[in-house]
Structure 1
Amino acid sequence: MRRLHDSLTGVRSAQCMQLIRTRAVQYVRMSTDMQENSIAIQAEAIAVFAARAGLNIVRSYEDFGRSGLKAAGRAGLQQLIADVRSGSADFGTILIYDVSRWGRFQDTDESAYYEYICRSHGVSVEYCAEQFCNDGSLSASILKTLKRVMAGEFSRELSVKVFAGQAKIVSLGCHRGSVAGYGLRRCLIDGVTGQRTTLRDGQRKRLSTDRVVLVPGPTDELRVISDIYRSFVQNKMSLSAIARQLNNQSVKNSSGRAWSDVAIREILTNEKYIGSAQFNKTSRKLGGPSVKNSRSMWIEAIGAYEMVVPIDLFQRAQQQLAFNARAYTDNELLDSLTALWCVTGRLTASTIDADDIAPCVNAYKEHFGGLGAAYDRIGYRPAFRSGQSTHFRFAVMSQLVARLRSLGCSVNWTSGSSHICVNEELVIAFIVVSARPSCGKNQWQLRRSAPLKPDITVLARLSDGDLGPKDYFLIPSLFLIGKTWLTVSARRLKRASHFRSSTLDPLIALCIQDRIGGANAARA
């Protein structure tokens, strides 16, 4: 019986292998709809090949509108390779139109690599439109290598031709691309009649002889552009401040979204607003990294469009941008900080960033190592600083530890730590905050990142003059289960008034009791 079972098992395995060998999948790819080797043409040629070879196509892997320069972004190819590598592929052959369908890689070994992966997992590859049989012979290997080189060279030659055509169009004063930009519109000029038609977003020109130029857009958008230049050049507002002003006025950008400093900079620096058509400011050849080109490599047509911004105003904006980008001196930063202090009466990171003229907070951090150092240079003492928090916490904890030890308690505390362990069982954490939060949200955000989970968290609030603790909140851990961040608002503190104490005497009274475990055992 065992011999019969093994014989039947072998027969079934042979039948399964024979079935898999007759099952095939196809991989098709095209870059654009205008390619000669479209998906339909490829699929038709593959179907004819499969019928002649007695293969049954069970699945299709497809990449529509995907360049062959890279494998990245080609979901069809990546899924095909993943299925082959899994070792459980239910097919024995991959049908491909020609060698270039793997890709027009600039490294010819990459195309060979994908074919090698398939063969090494027992899956053969057949090229349906090639004039050679992919049987592993010397002639087939030579022809495949030649085809891979030709595929890569085709991309290089096509890249040169496309660049030359685009450069010629721009040099004639025409616009390339689908986006006009805020305050501008694309205008189609018929190559035969010269008739002009305004194109909406997403519309394309119909004929290759047609040309597209940029024209001024709606009056309200032109007014916004004028306001942007006036705010920046005359009022000396920062890019972020201008963006906030437009967003507060519910003005949307060209894509219907909120404004940002990047969008404002684009309007202030793009020379299409003074009528210049430009191309090749950056380049990205054959799927490589983007490279910023020098001005000598740009393709320009000055005066190609109607200006929407006067040239003198545009140049003043460039001078202001260059002035803003310069390195601030220490005296300039400190003078600006002092002036802001005089106007607002207090200094915080939010007030500095909210000012339209003052340098940003990062400028002070880069020059002085932090806002605290800059405050010291001008003699400003904020109501509460993190360094003072550490100082007060150390003082309070030192006094508490000394008092507990004098009362006979065992206290484990490492100087600098925010936790103490009393009688080897009660863990207490200390947090010091100002009487009023400085974040402007009427709440404190406290991070409890220590690995030792406290049984009680002591929240010590400093008095307004920072002369000492104003009060304490003794918060049990059951209110903080599973939380890393502790948000304490003024409203919550008011509700937790029964946890409030003007001194630490209730905490000390708890600590000097007998060990909690022993007390519980005695009560039991």
Structure 2
Amino acid sequence: MHVESDLRAAPNDLLPVAQYVRMSTEHQKYSTDNQSQVIAAYAELHKMQVVRTYMDAGKSGLNLRGRPGLQQLLDDVCAPHPGFSAVLVYDISRWGRFPDPDEAAVYEQTCKRRGIRIIYCAEQFKNDGSLSSTVMVGLKRSMAAEYSRELSVKVFAGHRNLVQRGYRQGGAPGFGLRRQLVDEHHNIKGQLTRGEKKSIQTDRVFLVPGPQAEVATVHQIYRLFLEDAKPERVIASELNRQGLKTDLGRPWTRGTVHQVLTNEKYIGNNVYNRTSFKLKIEHKQNPPSEWIRKDGAFEAIVRPDLFWQVQAIIAQRSRHLDDDEMLALLRRVLERHGGLSGVLIDEEDGLPSSSSYRSRFGSLYRAYDLVGFQPRRDCAYLEINRALRRYHPTVMQRVAQGISDVGGYARSNKDTDLLTVNEEFTVSVVVARCKPTPAGKFRWLIRLDASLEPDITIVTRMDQSNRDPFDFYVLPSLDFAASQLPEREANGLSLDFYRVDALDDFYALCARTAYAEAA
């Protein structure tokens, strides 16, 4: 049970508090200076002293990502001694306009669980946990979320209108093109350089041909693709041999060449909403029926007939292949080279990538088996090890979250992957691969880094499929040796004493309780 710190200071004392301020691009009343002034007045009136400031200037309130100020605040709150007893915020919308109001509640509850209240200084009610304040907070959070949704609809409608009038909406112009700035009467004001933005709201941007040398390179790319039938990877190599760079000053790649060959801006078409990230919830590839377009909006630097010839070739090449077609292509590569590998597959033009084969057939070695290729040695374990390496951060996060849920604090060391719990002891989390024996028994391969010297090692033993945990061993360094590891189903009482089906008891040992400080 957690005891919330008493926020009532003695008459001659100043209660240490933090302030959190955030401004996106809305209006001046929400400037960080204005917020700080209101917070300072509130602090003075209630005998508080702002000892720390967390700020997110120019940051959207839609989610936690991209808000280092709020992230640092939450990290400090979870530390054993944050140094303040409450957080002052201008109003509920400054805490965030999360599309899901429950997300705002989760972050506030994280603070309250540590005995640190969130106080909204400009709201007309006290955030004191009473029924009336709880109802008002929930209502205000929902209003903030609805504001975000309504604003998103209005912004999208404005962008759609401008695109259909032929104006460019965001993004780099691309190789061979430049951004031309015009005023509201369409008078040319000059070209924008890389990273430069328009400063007047009524100004508009459209695309114009770039330097002649870049335009010539675009023509060369189309000529190499259509006349010489060279794929994108070969074209990139040719451009790099000539010492040519992309518009970002980087070497050419298959992807950058492909972009030049497939973007309609090179024939003057203004296309918008190919992808969307509404309310910053999910990146989404939109179908062509949802694209917003204005054909002939800009001066073309590629002939439309050449562009559409390229699209027809690419469409035929990238049509969906069923399993039999994918395996037939792989079989031809095997016959040509006498062997298969991930690198060989990725370098083969006209063949799906090795990741596509992994996704379709479960693993590369399953695809190899289906086309009759047997590697010189059984390398299936490589696929499992690769999957377990990807799984390890998930286990680490679950352990850290479990400690946090009971009131503890876990800090991860990026160099060693050790967790420091409550600034008191260290924990190493190990994921062990299961390897069934020919007799049907289970064995686990456990590798420890003895140089880390953790106080506790948590061994997560995977099940037969190596997809889910089978059990756990919580091993204190004082009571086990690396030469005696739980590699079998039964390992004797000295080891199995530390075996558990879940980590709840370990989390309970990490729990901490906040107590009110004595006056």
- Picking from 141, 166, 171, the partner of 1:173 is 166
**Matched-pair contact (CA < 8 Å) for 1:100–1:148:** yes
Paired residue for 1:146?
Answer: 139
Alpha-carbon deviation of 1:33? 7.6
Paired residue for 1:228?
Answer: 221
Change in 2 beyond 3 A, CA 1:123/1:351? closer
RCO higher in structure (CA 8 A, sep ≥6): 2
Q: 2 CA distance for matches of 1:206 and 1:355?
A: 46
Alpha-carbon deviation of 1:263? 1.0
Paired residue for 1:105?
Answer: 98
User: SS state of the match for residue 29, structure 2?
Assistant: coil
**Matched-pair contact (CA < 8 Å) for 1:241–1:356:** no
Kindly report the root-mean-square deviation, in angstroms, between the aligned alpha carbons of the 2 structures: 3.8
Paired residue for 1:5?
Answer: none
Tell me whether 1:218 sits opposite 2:227 in the alignment.
no
Q: Percent identity?
A: 39
- Picking from 196, 202, 207, the partner of 1:209 is 202
Q: 2 CA distance for matches of 1:210 and 1:361?
A: 44
User: SS state of the match for residue 319, structure 1?
Assistant: helix
Q: 2 CA distance for matches of 1:233 and 1:24?
A: 67
Letter of the structure 1 residue corresponding to residue 318 of structure 2: A
- Picking from 79, 83, 108, the partner of 1:86 is 79
Paired residue for 2:318?
Answer: 325
Change in 2 beyond 3 A, CA 1:18/1:63? farther
User: SS state of the match for residue 136, structure 1?
Assistant: coil
Tell me whether 1:66 sits opposite 2:59 in the alignment.
yes
Alpha-carbon deviation of 1:63? 1.5
User: SS state of the match for residue 36, structure 1?
Assistant: helix
**Matched-pair contact (CA < 8 Å) for 2:14–2:49:** no
1:292-329 CA-partner distances (Å, limit 9, x unpaired)? 11212111100001111111101110111123224468
Q: 2 CA distance for matches of 1:109 and 1:227?
A: 54
**Matched-pair contact (CA < 8 Å) for 1:225–1:267:** yes
Paired residue for 1:263?
Answer: 256
Summarize the alignment of residues 337-352 of structure 1 with structure 2, pairs less than 5 Å apart. Answer: none
1:131-157 CA-partner distances (Å, limit 9, x unpaired)? 222233332222212211111111011
In structure 1, runs of 5+ residues without a counterpart are: 1-12, 377-384, 391-448, 452-524
User: SS state of the match for residue 299, structure 2?
Assistant: coil
**Matched-pair contact (CA < 8 Å) for 1:252–1:258:** yes
Summarize the alignment of residues 113-512 of structure 1 with structure 2, pairs less than 5 Å apart. Answer: 113-192=106-185, 194-326=187-319, 327=321, 387=376
Alpha-carbon deviation of 1:164? 0.5
Alpha-carbon deviation of 1:375? 11
TM-score by length of 2: 0.62
Moved more, 63-72 or 171-180: 63-72
Change in 2 beyond 3 A, CA 1:246/1:51? same
Change in 2 beyond 3 A, CA 1:260/1:282? same
Higher helix share: 1
Alpha-carbon deviation of 1:281? 1.1
In structure 2, runs of 5+ residues without a counterpart are: 1-5, 380-444, 448-519
Paired residue for 1:485?
Answer: none
1:38-91 CA-partner distances (Å, limit 9, x unpaired)? 111111111111111121111111122221111223222222222223342322
**Matched-pair contact (CA < 8 Å) for 2:182–2:205:** yes
1:135-182 CA-partner distances (Å, limit 9, x unpaired)? 333322222122111111110111011100111110001101141001
Q: 2 CA distance for matches of 1:354 and 1:288?
A: 32
Paired residue for 1:22?
Answer: 15
Letter of the structure 2 residue corresponding to residue 101 of structure 1: R
TM-score by length of 1: 0.62
Tell me whether 1:46 sits opposite 2:39 in the alignment.
yes
Q: 2 CA distance for matches of 1:118 and 1:389?
A: 51
Alpha-carbon deviation of 1:355? 8.7
Moved more, 187-196 or 49-58: 187-196
1:340-392 CA-partner distances (Å, limit 9, x unpaired)? 78xxxx9997997899967589599999978899899xxxxxxxx964999xx
Letter of the structure 2 residue corresponding to residue 45 of structure 1: V
